[in-house]
Structure 1
Amino acid sequence: MEAKTVLITGISKGIGKELASAFSKNGWNICGCYKNNSPDYTVPNSKFIKADISKYDEVKKFIKSSICEFRKIDCVINNASVAERATIFRMTDEMWERVIKTNLNGTFYIIKEALREMIKQRNGSIINIASISAFKSYVGTAGYSASKSGIISLTRTAAREAGRFGITVNAVLPGFHFTNMGVNAGDAYIEKVKRKSVLNVTTDIKELANFILFLADVKTVSGQIFNFDSRIA
């Protein structure tokens, strides 16, 4: 059987790196993109491409390169994300636009170009990495929260439009986990997260990657938002 191919944005570190490892161990081809820092690791049957997803032309080149390398796209994971922490009255235009262009515009561009290929195949899955910040208000996260909320709406609309072609579109909300952002949160915040968890734990990033791997192959679920966490509001 021909190996499946997954496209992963933001592949250099954190969730992207863990996803590359999980999918590769399960026999998938990996095509990932990064903006600045190239990955410091390798996995079998992979191609890493420098691309800024906030720029539509670079997204089109990334998708084209993926098709040239692996001939098809079975799954797309929109993982790349940036954050600018500032209150609304202190947030500059540049800070706002950087977050919206990368998180929301970039996700839209990837979905649009990937769907062109998946519609030809009449098959495929798209998984968007969103955030609980789409539903909860935190001081200093206006741009990030707005972008992630937009991704939720984009996920549901794309699911309706792509469903007739046999393509699934879902979103996952990762819980608090120890990636580059997480380790800088501070002990007090980490303890607060644990207290809100019914299991008194933070999210295991390997379990998160394996859940996304499972979701990539599910054919009868679409338009859903999965909160991968153990905190109860």
Structure 2
Amino acid sequence: MGRLEGKYAIVTGASRGIGRAIALELAREGCIVGVNYQHNQALAEEVAAEIKSMGRECMLLQANVADPTEARAMVRRFLDAYGRLDIMVNNAGITRDRSLRKMTDEDWLQVIQTNLNAVFFCTTAAMQPMIEQQYGRIINISSMNGQTAAFGQANYGASKGGIIAFTKTAALELAKYGITVNVVAPGFTLTDMLSKVPEEVQNQIKARIPLGRFGLPEEMAKAVVFLAADGDYITGQQINVNGGAYM
């Protein structure tokens, strides 16, 4: 029996990378999972098939969470189906890396809308049923690059730093309802995006990581499960899963 047996969760951006690993780990621990995706239905269906192969239930939730109407409708669809939402994992994110001299308004706005504003849209939709339940776990996926500078990521860093600040205020306001709000901040993680970086550059990055390797999506997922299952007295905090790259 899993540590989250009978709990209901939504994971945004769950068709690939860290979001996929989170959805699978939550399901493994007993959750019924809403698997959000925007475009790639085939990948989302692969995640759903893997969850079902565990004997667990899930629901595919197509939505662009950067759109407030779609984000809130997605949460409503899940609530209409199951009547409860215990865990909201705000993971969806994009990059549009450019130096400030080359960054366009569109580069800036797209990243802020998807990475930061979507956290607000989904949190405000999820918190009302959690308030009624007097229980909830909201877990926001930030980044080490929301804590330290990264060249060409003014938009990304601002969005991820904003998530950390938002989380603290949400944690303060929602604690009295039995809702915890926390951040997992991954470092360099072995996802499709990182695997496309040339090997020489990967080696340069690894040389700056005290543990000498990239993180795995599954390691980020385990931090999320810890907060969901065992973090009853943890709120407004960050778990940095970065191999010591930022301390």
Aligned residues: 233
**Map of 1:99 onto structure 2:** 111
**Which segment is superposed worse, 39-48 or 123-132?**
39-48
**Map of 2:235 onto structure 1:** 222
Q: 1:196 is paired with a residue of what secondary structure?
A: coil
Q: Is the 8 A contact 2:5 2:30 kept in 1?
A: no
Q: Give the superposition deviation at 1:125.
A: 0.5
Q: Is the 8 A contact 1:34 1:50 kept in 2?
A: yes
Matched, 1:35 2:26: no
**Which segment is superposed worse, 75-84 or 129-138?**
129-138
Q: Give the superposition deviation at 1:40.
A: 4.1
Q: Distance in 1 between matches of 2:75 and 2:133?
A: 15
* Aligned ranges 1:1-233 → 2 under 5 Å: 3-38=6-41, 39-41=44-46, 42=49, 43-44=51-52, 45-217=57-229, 218-233=231-246
**Which segment is superposed worse, 182-191 or 43-52?**
182-191
Q: Give the superposition deviation at 1:2.
A: 6.7
Q: Is the 8 A contact 2:184 2:223 kept in 1?
A: no
Q: Which amino acid aligns with 2:134?
A: R
Q: Distance in 2 between matches of 1:120 and 1:2?
A: 20
Q: Which amino acid aligns with 1:227?
A: N
**Which segment is superposed worse, 195-204 or 101-110?**
195-204
Normalization by structure 1: what TM-score? Answer: 0.95
Q: 1:102 is paired with a residue of what secondary structure?
A: helix
Q: 1:107 is paired with a residue of what secondary structure?
A: helix
Q: Which amino acid aligns with 1:150?
A: G
Q: Is the 8 A contact 2:93 2:115 kept in 1?
A: yes
Q: 1:193 is paired with a residue of what secondary structure?
A: helix
Q: Is the 8 A contact 2:37 2:64 kept in 1?
A: yes
Identity %, equivalent residues: 32
Q: 1:89 is paired with a residue of what secondary structure?
A: coil
Q: 1:10 is paired with a residue of what secondary structure?
A: coil
Q: Give the superposition deviation at 1:232.
A: 4.2
Q: Give the superposition deviation at 1:19.
A: 1.2
Structure 1 runs (4+) greater than 6 angstroms displaced = none
Change (3 A) 1:79 1:157: same
Q: Distance in 1 between matches of 2:107 and 2:213?
A: 32
Question: Gaps spanning 5+ residues in structure 1: where?
Answer: none
Q: RMSD between aligned alpha carbons?
A: 1.5
Normalization by structure 2: what TM-score? Answer: 0.90
Q: Give the superposition deviation at 1:141.
A: 0.7
Q: Is the 8 A contact 1:196 1:231 kept in 2?
A: no
Q: Which amino acid aligns with 1:98?
A: Q
Change (3 A) 1:198 1:122: same
Q: Write out per-residue CA displacement over residues 115-161 of structure 1, whole angstroms, 9 at most, x where no aligned residue.
A: 11110011010000001111211221111111011101000000000
Q: Give the superposition deviation at 1:183.
A: 0.6
Q: 1:125 is paired with a residue of what secondary structure?
A: strand
Question: Gaps spanning 5+ residues in structure 2: where?
Answer: none
